[in-house]
Amino acid sequence: MDLELRHLRTVRAIADEGSLTRAAAALGLAQPALSSQLRRIEKALGGPLFDRDHTGARPTLLGELVLERARVVLPAMRQLQEDAVRFANSWNRVRRFRLGATHGPLLGALVDRLAAAEPAAPVSTHTSWSVDEISSLLAAGRLDHALIGVCGESTPPRDTELVWQSVGVDPVFVMLPEGHPLAEEDEIPLARLSHEAWTDVPGDGCFADCFTAACARAGFTPLSVFETDTASCVHLVQVGRAVGLCRATFPPTPGLVTRPLAGAPLSWRHLLGHHPGSPAAGAAAAVLGHARAAYREAAHRSDSYRAWLDGHPRFGAPP
């Protein structure tokens, strides 16, 4: 019998579970079938791999040798499979742009700029509230480039295998109805909004915790926070049911104003990512240039943000 990867997985399962009974359950096999398979494996490898008694199964010296090699071979083969799938998903003789993004103000502008710059290249999009989902699709080669946002200085997902580059850094602004008593203020201390209900969009990062911590530093606990889609957030603010949290590049919207929070207690980093081993990596610099141009255009459209940026050089697009 030739040794196969599934045999190494069987040996590792027995070692991990500590008994044939538990290993059989974990592998979805009957115990007699697993015992027969182990005997065939041991015959192929020249000796017993486990000492077995009523207390369980413990690796022999030969078993330890096999397990040591299995811990190298199995992850290497899994990585080979993932790399091959990613390359197969990315390979295409026609230049294309498969873009992933969390819901935000920049994706549409990026699509527009790419379509104008390369009209023969197909552009497709996939959006999700989850940066983890978008990053997983990018790592698997099912997306070419990903536009995401992360709170403050938090680490983006899969940062050891994906390349993330900064598109711009926004302060988090507050979104108010036009008739709100604070709508004409240049900056609003967070504490002056302690009596308000809040609304913002969902996500799987640390933003909710960072907002709660910022409120605590300002001396209050938010009355309530409605997490919902962007259109519903806008509606809740327009009707005076809540005030909203938004990125400073949030587009001008009838009936609303956006204002800076004094001291910029919260920030949001726009990032563009790609996999360095993907064929799409060669276009990453050009896509980044378009994304930064889209960000600058979004910042320019907001009078309140454009004026605010002049005195806060650590925010905005990179030089």
For residue 85, the model assigns a pLDDT of 74
Start-end of CATH 1.10.10.10 domains in the chain: 5-90
Domain with CATH 3.40.190.290 in the chain: 97-309
Contact of 25 with 32, CB cutoff 8 Å: no
Fold of 97-309: D-Maltodextrin-Binding Protein; domain 2 (3.40.190)
What's the pLDDT at 76?
Answer: 86
d(CA 310, CA 319): 14
Element (H, E) at 254: none
**Alpha carbon 34 to chain centroid, angstroms:** 40
Per-residue pLDDT of the chain (319 residues; tens, 9 = 90+): 778 888 999 999 999 999 888 988 888 888 888 888 999 998 988 999 899 888 889 999 998 999 999 999 888 888 888 777 766 665 444 478 999 998 777 999 999 999 999 898 899 999 998 999 999 999 998 999 999 999 988 999 998 999 999 999 999 999 999 999 999 999 999 999 999 999 999 888 889 999 999 999 999 999 899 999 999 999 999 999 999 999 888 888 899 999 999 999 999 999 999 999 888 888 999 999 999 999 999 888 877 788 888 888 889 888 7
Q: Any residues with CB less than 8 A from the CB of 209 and at least 6 apart, and which?
A: none
Contact 277, 88 (CB under 8 A): no
pLDDT at position 278, please?
A: 87
Class of domain 5-90: mainly alpha
pLDDT at 78 (0 to 100): 86
DSSP conformational letter for 172: E
